[in-house]
Chains A and B, each alone.
Chain A
Amino acid sequence: DGGITQSPKYLFRKEGQNVTLSCEQNLNHDAMYWYRQDPGQGLRLIYYSQIVNDFQKGDIAEGYSVSREKKESFPLTVTSAQKNPTAFYLCASSIRDRVYEQYFGPGTRLTVT
């Protein structure tokens, strides 16, 4: 079955540590996205990538970094510079330029203490 995998479901880290969230897709999609979800704020775009080895900042990229070395993978690193990293993170993918047809992963809930 094709889909998007995010692991782990729950992640705990100490403040000051970088942490990398994984996102893998086997849908053969060119484009991938990372969103952050906070209570009462909907989804906000962190980074997106329309093709391998290329990515663009979204609305709230500060304190985050990404890489896109493979079509199937788009890991997100939450750095110590992110002031409020505790949130629910969702990864999505789509056919390139068809941003209106995104498929979402199950999400990773990150808690930083």
Chain B
Amino acid sequence: AQKVTQAQTEISVVEKEDVTLDCVYETRDTTYYLFWYKQPPSGELVFLIRRNSFDEQNEISGRYSWNFQKSTSSFNFTITASQVVDSAVYFCALSHSGGYQKVTFGTGTKLQVIP
């Protein structure tokens, strides 16, 4: 069985603050993928990043960065200098490779950035 836990239900920060969204996963497989999606108020899920289990390098994309640590089964997401446009629900997800393997989503973290 696979499971994704996003313990933070809602987070509020003031604009320009940094914020980290936590994601902890459980899986018995050695080969898997981890994702982050953003869901703005419009509803559509926007893909942010995919990581495979063999690549533990941290990644930075503009103000976004991701910290993947297999030792703690975590894939945390940090937004630097948050902006109002970052306000959304963020989902962490897990999938295995090979054939059809469903995606397991976390329950999401609602981020509110206050101007």
In the complex, A44 Cα to B105 Cα: how many Å? 8
Give B34's nearest chain A residue, CB to CB: A100
In the complex, A97 Cα to B9 Cα: how many Å? 31
Across the interface, which residues of B come within 8 angstroms of A58, CB to CB? Answer: 102
Across the interface, which residues of B come within 8 angstroms of A99, CB to CB? Answer: 95, 100-103
In the complex, A66 Cα to B13 Cα: how many Å? 42
Say yes or no: A42 contacts B91, CB within 8 Å.
yes
Q: Is B42 an interface residue (CB 8 A)?
A: yes
Say yes or no: A100 contacts B45, CB within 8 Å.
no
Interface size class of B (residues with CB under 8 A): 20 to 34
In the complex, A104 Cα to B39 Cα: how many Å? 10
Q: Find A40's partner among B9, B43, B50, B105 (CB 8 Å cutoff).
A: B9
Task: Write the A95-113 contact mask toward B (1 if CB under 8 angstroms, else 0).
Answer: 0010111111111010000
Across the interface, which residues of A come within 8 angstroms of B50, CB to CB? Answer: 100-101
Say yes or no: A106 contacts B44, CB within 8 Å.
yes
Interface of B is mostly: loop
Least Cβ distance of B75 to chain A in Å? 14
Say yes or no: A50 contacts B105, CB within 8 Å.
no
Say yes or no: B43 contacts A106, CB within 8 Å.
yes
Give B94's nearest chain A residue, CB to CB: A100
Q: How many residues of A contact B (CB 8 A)?
A: 26
Least Cβ distance of B90 to chain A in Å? 11
Say yes or no: A104 contacts B45, CB within 8 Å.
yes
In the complex, A101 Cα to B106 Cα: how many Å? 17
In the complex, A32 Cα to B81 Cα: how many Å? 37
Say yes or no: A104 contacts B44, CB within 8 Å.
yes
Least Cβ distance of A47 to chain B in Å? 11
Q: Is B62 an interface residue (CB 8 A)?
A: no
Least Cβ distance of A89 to chain B in Å? 10
Q: What 15 additional pairs, Cβ within 8 angstroms, besides A42-B107, A45-B102, A100-B101?
A: A42-B105, A42-B108, A43-B91, A59-B102, A90-B45, A99-B95, A99-B100, A99-B103, A100-B33, A100-B95, A100-B103, A102-B47, A104-B45, A106-B42, A107-B43
Report 21 cross-chain contacts, Cβ distance below 8 Å, ordered by A residue. A31-B100, A41-B107, A42-B91, A42-B106, A43-B105, A44-B105, A56-B100, A88-B43, A90-B43, A99-B95, A99-B100, A99-B102, A99-B103, A100-B50, A100-B101, A101-B50, A102-B47, A104-B37, A104-B45, A106-B42, A107-B44
